[in-house]
Structure 1
Amino acid sequence: PGGFEGIGEIGLKWLKKAKEETGLLMGTEVATAAHCKLALEYDIDVLWVGARTTANPFAVQEIADTLAGTDKIVLVKNPVNPDMALWLGGVERLHMAGIKNLGVIHRGFSTYEKTKYRNIPEWQIAIELQNKFPDLPLIIDPSHITGNRNMILEVTQEALDLNYDGMIIETHIDPDNAWSDAAQQVTPDALKQILKDLKIRKVSGDTPDFENKMAKLRANIDVLDANLLDLLGKRMKVADEIGQVKKENNVAVLQNNRWNEIQEKMVAEGSKKGLSEEFITKLFKSIHQESIEHQEKIING
């Protein structure tokens, strides 16, 4: 409440006029059946389902029923939370309604953790989606991921390096006075420079020398990954022993002071090795959670 919630039907009139003057395709977000009907009435070319709408299967079904059989391009943004099934469920509902021109938009995920992003990318989720559905167009939304116009190029380049199919970037002739999301919008000139600076790289090399070098490096990675798993297994065995000692002495599993010490120490050590604080924090939270589960089994077993 109190925030900008769209200009209403007049905005569609503006898009229609812009299309007539430029010949470009026009797009807008739809969140309800009424939005869809108006967008079709004004012959909008591209419709996208927003993150909060994707999180509501009932709303997505309503949109699917209204757009059934349309040849318009319909894109689905990832839900606010990192839920692959919910994201793909939205796509599936639209597909079952006979909508063929489908794609997805990766706009990042909300988190209570403090990071440099407005919405953390969680790149592995988008990579998993690509692996499962390689023919489904995947578009990056660096504006919403970063929330910061100065990071648009960096995140867009990372997406292109991961073989994304396109990008949706917010631009405004006067970003600082935009009605919403001012900090993440760029001027048309800035957008032009971003597009100029982006590098489109080949999906794979085409020389024997490249393939040989990659084979050796990947073999090295495989060995290191195996060592990592071995070390993690050994660490969890120690966690089991800790759980047994705690059980014998009637001590609670979670020791906050110890956990805070580990976090601070590992972030500092990771920084010395060129590892980001965000990565180290997520890594050790996962390890810590697994350790807690091991100890819980021992104590309650």
Structure 2
Amino acid sequence: MITELFPSNKSKQNEAPFVIAGPCSVETPEQLMTTVGQLKKEGISWIRGGVWKPRTRPGSFEGVGEIALPWIQAAKKEFGVKFAIEVASANHVELALKHDMDMLWVGARSTANPFTVQEIAESLKGAKVPVLIKNPINADLSLWQGAFERFQKAGITDLAAVHRGFSNLREQVYRNSPMWQIPIDFKRTFPEIPMICDPSHIAGKRSLVQIIAQKALDLSFDGFLIESHHQPDLAWSDAAQQLTPQALGEMLKNLKTRSIHFEGVQMRNQLEEIRAQIDQADHELLEAIHRRMTLIEKIGEYKKLNNVAVLDLDRWKEIFETRPVWGQEMGINEELIQELFALIHQESVKKQTEILDKVD
């Protein structure tokens, strides 16, 4: 089972996370052998490598295909490592199993297509190979959950999730927006399924990979799927985000693991006391929202009585401009305030519209 690959006792601090690392794409036998050899020296025994590379647009390098599979077998034999590759069709699955691949993953583009997910799941019936499922390209939690449900209904339960971020037109820092709340929500639905982070695809730049990896550890992720190439600047795909094996080894040494359990009665009591204060603050927050919604209902009744339109853009502009300023004075993140009041305004418009539409 894939769960056996992860640290058995997460209460231990400084315990190394499970790592799968290797090139974005398997390019040549020489590139593969050199990279795997260097990764093995860094203590990496699980290797990843793209054989087929589904791309957003044609014309990009899409992998060397089936000819890479014997190269991988040779690397496994030479260095005593295990190998994971991406599959995007039943034919890929057949070839991967024929060449003794140790782990498979379903990529973000495949996860976005339920027909493809179903095809892969059906082709894996009876196979004894762990499967990683990446989140879909867009921020759709249900689509990600549905992919796991399709595999489970096909009798495949040796599964893990891979968080690789989501496409977002507004994202300016990372290649893909982390949107950490989505994998957290996934874990709430499937607590038994391990969650792995792909910091390479979230970061998009090698200088940001460690930042993302540390954040994942802080959120109790179970491991990493990381891209590494012995000459990353010369890589045929995703050159900017790949680390050399030596840089990867150094990064892993610098990551700080966190204990998810509390040692000692005093620590537990202090934490519970703070949590009780948070519960009280949340209750007061909900009371404030309830009070605001009661006032919104009064506004709605007034507008109905005086035949006034629900949406007042000047008023909304005033709220949207002033609330972040108020929050900033309290040290609250501006983006949080904007998102919070956007939701509150949406609910306010809904309530007022219902009042206007109600027949007396």
TM-score by length of 1: 0.89
How far apart are the structure 2 equivalents of 1:114 and 1:76? 23
How far apart are the structure 1 equivalents of 2:312 and 2:150? 45
> How far 1:209 moved relative to its partner?
1.0
> How far 1:249 moved relative to its partner?
5.1
SS, match of residue 82 in structure 2 = coil
Structure that is richer in helix per residue? 1
* Letter matched to residue 124 of structure 1: Q
How far apart are the structure 1 equivalents of 2:103 and 2:211? 26
> How far 1:108 moved relative to its partner?
2.0
How far apart are the structure 1 equivalents of 2:159 and 2:196? 11
Q: Which runs of 5+ in 1 are unaligned?
A: none
Most deviating of 96-105 and 41-50:
96-105
How far apart are the structure 2 equivalents of 1:293 and 1:50? 38
**Compared CA separation, residues 255 and 136, structure 1 to 2 (3 A):** same
Selected match of 1:205 from 238, 244, 262: 262
* Residue number in structure 2 paired with 1:111: 168
* Residue number in structure 2 paired with 1:17: 74
Q: Verify: 1:98 aligned to 2:155, yes or no.
A: yes
TM-score by length of 2: 0.76
Q: Verify: 1:31 aligned to 2:66, yes or no.
A: no
**Contact persistence 2:112–2:143 (CA under 8 A):** yes
Selected match of 1:128 from 185, 189, 196: 185
* Residue number in structure 2 paired with 1:239: 296
* Letter matched to residue 204 of structure 1: H
Q: Verify: 1:43 aligned to 2:100, yes or no.
A: yes
Q: Verify: 1:71 aligned to 2:128, yes or no.
A: yes
Most deviating of 188-197 and 218-227:
188-197
What value does the CA root-mean-square deviation take over the aligned residues? 2.3
* Residue number in structure 1 paired with 2:145: 88
Paired residues, number: 301
> How far 1:74 moved relative to its partner?
0.5
Identity of aligned residues (%): 50
| Deviation readout 1:156-193 (Å, 9 max, x if unpaired) | 22222222111111122333343333332222222112
> How far 1:245 moved relative to its partner?
4.0
* Residue number in structure 1 paired with 2:224: 167
Q: Verify: 1:187 aligned to 2:244, yes or no.
A: yes
**Compared CA separation, residues 25 and 255, structure 1 to 2 (3 A):** farther
* Residue number in structure 1 paired with 2:24: none
More RCO (CA 8 Å, sep 6+): 2
> How far 1:260 moved relative to its partner?
4.2
SS, match of residue 156 in structure 2 = coil
* Letter matched to residue 130 of structure 2: I
> How far 1:16 moved relative to its partner?
2.4
How far apart are the structure 2 equivalents of 1:248 and 1:116? 49
* Letter matched to residue 175 of structure 2: R
**Compared CA separation, residues 283 and 177, structure 1 to 2 (3 A):** farther
* Letter matched to residue 253 of structure 1: V
**Contact persistence 2:131–2:160 (CA under 8 A):** yes
